[in-house]
Amino acid sequence: MESGLEKYLKLRSSPPGEGTEWILKHTNMYVNYPRMMSGPVQGTLLKILAEISGARRVLEIGTFTGYSAACIACGLPEDGHVDTLELNDEMEDLILEGFRQAGVEKRVTLYIGDAKETLKRLGGPYDMAFIDADKREYPEYYRLTFDKLRPGGFMVADDVLWDGKVYENPLPGDRQTAGISAFNDMVASDPRVENVIIPLRDGLNLIRKK
């Protein structure tokens, strides 16, 4: 259920695009844990980031039902493209239909399989990357993505506050919290980037490669 803050932000933020409503609706109707999907406010932020950065080539790690990929694609020029990676092949039909409904099917390529293996095959450079997949693997996603990102490009990593677990003392012992905490520490200590963590939803780490 949406909090009062989430409702307020959604009502006072521009929607990311009419076509994305189909994905939003069908995710909530047919998918377990629909809250894993980026919501409309975050979707609009991703779309605007793509627009104002002039991104043409975007990498997404963790498609889920395709909502965030479609939002990003809506912010790209006609010759822009998103490569998006998803492990769960049972989502494929829903994802591809969502892209068609959003009118972005020609601007998005879906790769099904282990993200780490797919990343090793994909070449850069990318202007933007969005990370929202297995939290245990965030540090490895960062390492595999960094050299594919052009200088001046940026990453956005989702769920980096992890319900506040990352700033508990002592840190919880689960691998997801450990992965996100290690990722945030890695970024903060990396002289090759500058970053800011935004407390939107469950936290976004916005990272610019120098």
- Rounded CA gap, 190 and 134, in Å? 22
At 109, is the pLDDT very low, low, confident or very high (cuts 50, 70, 90)?
A: very high
Tens of pLDDT, residue by residue over 147-165, are 999 999 999 999 999 999 9
Least confident of 17-26, 109-118, 154-163: 17-26
> Which residues, at least 6 apart from 138, have a Cβ–Cβ distance to it below 8 Å?
131, 157, 179, 180, 182, 183
Phi and psi, residue 16, nearest 5°: -70, -20
Q: Which fold has domain 4-209?
A: Rossmann fold (3.40.50)
Q: 50-82 burial, b if ≥16 CB within 10 A, otherwise e?
A: beebebebbbbbbbbbbbbbbbbbbbbeeebbb
pTM of this structure: 0.95
Q: 199-210 burial, b if ≥16 CB within 10 A, otherwise e?
A: ebbebbbbbbbe
Phi and psi, residue 23, nearest 5°: -65, -45
Q: What is the pLDDT of residue 191?
A: 98
At 64, is the pLDDT very low, low, confident or very high (cuts 50, 70, 90)?
A: very high
Domains of the chain, by residue range, sit at: 4-209
The proportion of the chain whose per-residue pLDDT surpasses 70, expressed as a percent, equals: 100
